[in-house]
Amino acid sequence: MSEPIIVLKGSDAVLLGEAAQATLKALVGDRDADEVVDLFSGDDYDVADAVMAATAVSMFGDRVIVMRHASRFNVEALGPLVAYASDPNPTSQLLVVWDKPLASGAHAHSVPKKLSDAVKACGGRVVDTGVAQTAKGRQSWLDERMAAASVSLTPAAKQVVIERLGEDVSRLGALLRLLESTFPDGAKLEPRDVEPFVGEAGSVPPWELTDAIDSGDVGGAVNKVRRMMHAGQRHPLQLMASLQAHFQRMLKLDGAAVRSEK
């Protein structure tokens, strides 16, 4: 049996939107989306409306019900969906996209544990579309997506992409699609091939700045600060607070028998 309910969440609107598009495409398959998809979007529908559509038996085969901007619902409003998860309709699949409400100033709720537990209990899944905040996790995420592209990037070309994007990893999808539309399938791309398409340098995480400082790379540290302030739009006081915390940790280690990060 297919997953009856899929909940997509994530803090990056671009990555969440791309995941929603890809998931919906997979659910629809080779069918006509206009015939099998019921879309509930915006601020003018109730959870009960989507649940009613999912419960209905279709004369035209299995249906896909999509709930957009679901973060506007609190745990009480999600009651009908939690109840539906206890006995989902086998001829419907429900895709819940936890993107922000459209109304300006509207509160965006996090996915309640009650809903997550109910979805998992019925055989569905809750997917976090975001990227891990650690360097290793981000590297793994980038490697997976570049490996799945129809074009092949050399290690040097990958490094150009990773270095230029920095924290702005949500730009990767559009970049890969642009490269795929420009070069033939299987093309092996060098740095000179990707350079014109990568765009401006994105922000960088704080650890890249502190690593540059610790290694004595003055020019590199200045470059990181500029990227964090301009592309990352970080306030100078935020940078000062981050650096203060870093040096306080170093001072605590002063005199200790520490020879590595471990």
pLDDT at position 203 is 64
DSSP codes joined into one string, 67-128: E-SGGG--TTTTHHHHHHHTS--TTEEEEEE-PPPSSTT---PPPPHHHHHHHHHTT-EEEE
pTM over 0.75: no
- Report pLDDT digits (tens) over 62-74: 899 999 999 999 9
Separation between Cα atoms, residue 182 and residue 189, nearest integer Å? 11
Mean pLDDT of the chain: 85
pLDDT band for position 209 (50/70/90)? confident
Q: What is the DSSP string of 31-57?
A: S-HHHHEEEE-TTS--HHHHHHHHHSP
CA distance 221 to 213: 6
Report the alpha-carbon distance of residue 118 to residue 83 in Å, rounded: 8
pLDDT at 168: 78
pLDDT of residue 241: 74
**Mean pLDDT throughout 34-60?**
91
Residue 59: pLDDT over 70: yes
Mean pLDDT value across residues 81-91: 95
- Helices and strands in the chain, H and E counts: 12, 7
Contact 64, 92 (CB under 8 A): yes
Q: How far apart are the first and last CA of the chain?
A: 46
Residue listed under structure tokens 């899929």: 6
Count other C-beta atoms under 10 Å from residue 138's C-beta. Answer: 18
Tens of pLDDT, residue by residue over 135-145, are 788 888 888 88
The 10s digit of each residue's pLDDT in 119-165 is 999 999 999 998 877 778 888 888 888 999 999 999 999 988 888 88
State yes or no: pLDDT of 208 exceeds 90.
no
pLDDT greater at residue 161 or residue 211:
161
For residue 19, which of 130, 137, 166 has the smallest C-alpha distance?
130
pLDDT(258) > 80: no
pLDDT category at 238 given cuts 50, 70, 90 is low
**Predicted pLDDT of residue 254:** 61
Instruction: Express each pLDDT in 9-36 by its tens digit.
Output: 998 888 899 899 999 999 999 998 888 9
